[in-house]
Structure 1
Amino acid sequence: MGNCCNQLDQQESSATTEYNRSEELNVIKRNYTGKIIGTSKVCFENTSPIKLQNTQGFLGKRSVKLHGCIIPGLDPRGETDKDCQDNYIYFIQDNAILCTLFDGHGKEGQKISDFCIDFVAKFFKKNIKDFAYNAKETLTRMLHKCDEKLRRSKVPDEMAGSTAVAIYITSTNIFSASLGDSRAIIATLSDTLIPVPIPTHRFYKKILIKRNLKPVSLTTDQKPNHEEEFTRIQAAGGCVEQVTDNFGKPIGPYRVWMKNKDYPGLAMSRSIGDRIAKRLGVIATPVCHDFQLYNTDQFIVIASDGIWDVMENIEVVNFVEKFKKGCGESTDLYPAKPDNSSIARMLCEEARFRWYGIIEAEDVMIDDISCIIVDFEDISGAMKTQVKERNVEAFRSMAIAPQHNHANTSINEDDNETKD
């Protein structure tokens, strides 16, 4: 992910980091065999950020800032109208924080993510004391009940649903619950330099930071080809396979299918909604974790796959560390830069910038991009604190032998969680 390799060492991103409204890209053209035969110029206007939020509060005696942003996706060629299906909500109350983020998929994905936000707001208000008493159980119950209430609502969820990430933070602990492939990480001080991925296209900024930070996962992605998930889906009568192209080559993520059918094509093993996939072993039971919060912890990033599909955990951590202190209140002005943007907006804009490289190589749409950043007050002398290693429950991925030929005919690779 880089501009020109010989330019990467000649510039620091802080001097040039701004994002424009208008873009012009050169998209690779291929013939029927996949051979590159040229490029085509695509010009477009970016969507404006929405739901820009900045809030301050406290976790015990430690001050904290919360920033949120959503950037709607778009089709650069303007051939497809795209609803924004990402949404989030957060609360600071009684020296605790609840953050939830949802990424809808399918034709009714926007309605479902909106439904989830409304449900969480009501649930938190009614169950504040339960979070303080037993956070993991309450987070699980919240997502289960959200799925149940959606099923009884008038929102069509047979072939549509949403991911979910819910993070509850106190002055001493972090509790997480997740469904699907939206993700949360925490950045903590480290004495080890973690390498960043090698750039693969020109849309890349070299990020140099003064402190070593380590990304620690607070959630784990849930995919159908993870061994435990696959076993459950197979036992329920589901089939897990990739889509194949016109030459029979598997492409894209593994998906959940009804045997001998071309639906639902869900690219995750747990979710809210997706009623047909629920008959095939997909469940709404979140994967939960709890962790101690240390003085060395600097910030949490909760985001949809619009960020994680184009940036590795360490890249996100380094970017936030680099720019968060220089950011101000968030606006929707362009060009977007630190003095008119929050760190949440800057991260979303950087992710969209990375999407340009995928557009040029694969001619795809830009996914919805959303995040919440929880920025903790920096505590001097924090490295002296004894920190225990924190790990999330890991799933082991597995290769799956093809059983059927799911041709690549109806999958929208921008909104690729499920077939429409």
Structure 2
Amino acid sequence: MVLFASFLDGLSRVISTIKGRNSQKDAGKEAAEALAKDARKKELMLSSSGIVKSSKSDNFTSVCSRRGQKGTNQDSSVVWEGFGSQDDMIFCGIFDGHGPWGHFVSKKVRESVPSLLLCNWQENLALTSLGMDFEVDLDRNLHQFDIWKQSYLKTYAAIDQELKQHRKIDSFFSGTTAVTIIKQGENLVIANVGDSRAVLATISIDDGSLVPLQLTIDFKPSLPEEAERITRSKGRVFCLRDEPGVYRVWMPDGKTPGLSLSRAFGDHCVKDFGLVSEPDVTRRNISSRDQFVILATDGVWDVISNLEAVQVVSLTSDREKSAERLVECAGRAWKCKKKGIAMDDISAICLFFHPSPSPQIDPPLIISSHDERFLKQSSSPQPL
């Protein structure tokens, strides 16, 4: 197990002063925040549209966000290359706010998750390392994943509670989704709350085509397990007459808030009635066939399929513009498929795992006639 140098002092204090966990936690939090500040200074952390190119790994990240037609852009994102001062780690997250304070909530969660997660990971790593011989292989990947999972659960619970008590942000009727990934060497850890989505592009063993693999679940009230939890907590799940098929979460009186998510940060009006901020945390070992992962808000997924998104990104010759191209395609798709409906905010992160291949060794793509028509239409010079 690798411990980053910036936290070695903290580790020794945990080992020697277990009883002083509160002061140690403060020290760990300060160390994590200092690392975040240093990453921003070195341009290794990005919280707006742009790119992050690693000089010490094959990671390359493209980010783009565009305001919709509903007012303030409530989407936010973050990329942290060299997460925790480790060359083989990168953190990516995308957040979709909703409600009157949604843009404040999404930005607050974006600012809080990386450093607090890092602090909790360091603490859990130190505690589980005590008395364990890491020279013996005890399925190291599973052990690392369990540490990350417990760190995520602790982090998200703490942030949601902090939002509830925040004096300057009203999260009673406002909240945000959160889909994040951590790439640690060849391991991928995915955590999801809400209906923003992570989709992996991988080369099919069968025919060599580039195919999508959805890494997350869209947590909607229509999912049986989610609906059962909500109704068991006295919340209500039903559709409005003018929105058939769109299930929403309501308070017991059935009047508010009509939330189309079953998991979210914030929205404390229904936290006692089945809504949770608990993330679904999963893992994947990255293979040579896995090419890139897309994180995007539902402004993309409401109008573009997983396959279409993968094809748009893979056919963009300049990786720096891959997220921008996907956002542009989604904007055009909104005009075609959602006429009369105000366009949502649209945001995407594209994280590439390997160096850009030369044209002659690009993996072959199999594109249906429908997909070809979509891509042609998306590439035509229409203004958004």
Provide the rounded CA distance (Å) in 2 between the counterparts of 1:274 and 1:260: 16
Corresponding residue for 1:293?
A: 286
Give the counterpart letter for 1:348 in structure 2. Answer: V
**CA displacement 1:118-176 (0-9 Å, x = unmatched):** 21243255356358752222222222222111111121111110011111111121111
Corresponding residue for 2:318?
A: 326
Conserved in 2, the CA contact under 8 Å of 1:136 and 1:176? no
Local SS of the residue matching 1:51: coil
Provide the rounded CA distance (Å) in 1 between the counterparts of 2:89 and 2:121: 10
Provide the rounded CA distance (Å) in 2 between the counterparts of 1:143 and 1:354: 33
Match of 1:275 among 263, 268, 279: 268
Provide the rounded CA distance (Å) in 1 between the counterparts of 2:216 and 2:195: 9
Local SS of the residue matching 2:104: helix
Provide the rounded CA distance (Å) in 2 between the counterparts of 1:125 and 1:237: 35
1:241 aligns with 2:220: no
Local SS of the residue matching 1:240: strand
Give the counterpart letter for 1:352 in structure 2. Answer: G
Corresponding residue for 1:355?
A: 334
Conserved in 2, the CA contact under 8 Å of 1:87 and 1:113? yes
Provide the rounded CA distance (Å) in 1 between the counterparts of 2:336 and 2:124: 42
1:97 aligns with 2:90: yes
Query: Post-superposition shift, 1:191?
Result: 3.8
1:266 aligns with 2:254: no
Q: Whose relative contact order is higher, 1 or 2, with alpha carbons under 8 Å and at least 6 apart?
A: 1
Match of 1:373 among 339, 350, 370: 350
Residues 169 and 371 of structure 1, relative CA distance in 2, 3 Å threshold: same
Local SS of the residue matching 1:178: strand
Corresponding residue for 1:207?
A: none
1:68 aligns with 2:47: no
Local SS of the residue matching 2:171: coil
Local SS of the residue matching 2:199: strand
In the alignment, structure 2 segments of 5+ residues that lack a partner are 1-46, 126-143, 358-384
Provide the rounded CA distance (Å) in 2 between the counterparts of 1:345 and 1:364: 22
Provide the rounded CA distance (Å) in 2 between the counterparts of 1:100 and 1:192: 32
Corresponding residue for 1:213?
A: 210
Match of 2:201 among 181, 187, 192: 187
Query: Post-superposition shift, 1:251?
Result: 2.5
Conserved in 2, the CA contact under 8 Å of 1:140 and 1:177? no
Residues 125 and 285 of structure 1, relative CA distance in 2, 3 Å threshold: closer
Query: Post-superposition shift, 1:316?
Result: 0.6
Provide the rounded CA distance (Å) in 2 between the counterparts of 1:302 and 1:54: 14
**Aligned ranges for residues 132-143 of structure 1 at < 5 Å?**
133=144, 134-143=147-156
1:303 aligns with 2:317: no
Match of 1:55 among 52, 57, 61: 52
Provide the rounded CA distance (Å) in 2 between the counterparts of 1:131 and 1:315: 40
In the alignment, structure 1 segments of 5+ residues that lack a partner are 1-49, 76-81, 194-210, 329-341, 381-420
Residues 234 and 124 of structure 1, relative CA distance in 2, 3 Å threshold: closer
The structure with the greater share of residues assigned to strand is 1
Q: Which 10-residue stretch deviates more, 141-150 or 263-272? A: 141-150
Provide the rounded CA distance (Å) in 2 between the counterparts of 1:167 and 1:117: 13
Local SS of the residue matching 1:317: helix
Conserved in 1, the CA contact under 8 Å of 2:221 and 2:260? yes
Corresponding residue for 1:122?
A: 115
Residues 286 and 125 of structure 1, relative CA distance in 2, 3 Å threshold: closer
Local SS of the residue matching 2:68: coil
Corresponding residue for 1:85?
A: 74
Residues 64 and 226 of structure 1, relative CA distance in 2, 3 Å threshold: same
**CA displacement 1:209-242 (0-9 Å, x = unmatched):** xx61121121111111211111111111111101
1:170 aligns with 2:162: no
The structure with the greater share of residues assigned to helix is 2
**CA displacement 1:18-48 (0-9 Å, x = unmatched):** xxxxxxxxxxxxxxxxxxxxxxxxxxxxxxx
Local SS of the residue matching 2:54: strand
Query: Post-superposition shift, 1:58?
Result: 6.5
RMSD: 2.1
Residues 84 and 121 of structure 1, relative CA distance in 2, 3 Å threshold: same
Provide the rounded CA distance (Å) in 2 between the counterparts of 1:213 and 1:138: 33
Provide the rounded CA distance (Å) in 1 between the counterparts of 2:156 and 2:240: 30
Corresponding residue for 1:106?
A: 99
Conserved in 2, the CA contact under 8 Å of 1:177 and 1:289? yes
Give the counterpart letter for 1:345 in structure 2. Answer: E
Conserved in 1, the CA contact under 8 Å of 2:212 and 2:310? yes
Local SS of the residue matching 1:181: coil
Query: Post-superposition shift, 1:259?
Result: 2.9
1:157 aligns with 2:164: no
Conserved in 2, the CA contact under 8 Å of 1:190 and 1:213? yes
TM-score relative to the length of structure 2: 0.70
Give the counterpart letter for 1:53 in structure 2. Answer: G
Q: Where in structure 1 do 4 or more consecutive aligned residues deviate above 6 Å?
A: none
Residues 192 and 239 of structure 1, relative CA distance in 2, 3 Å threshold: same
Corresponding residue for 1:13?
A: none
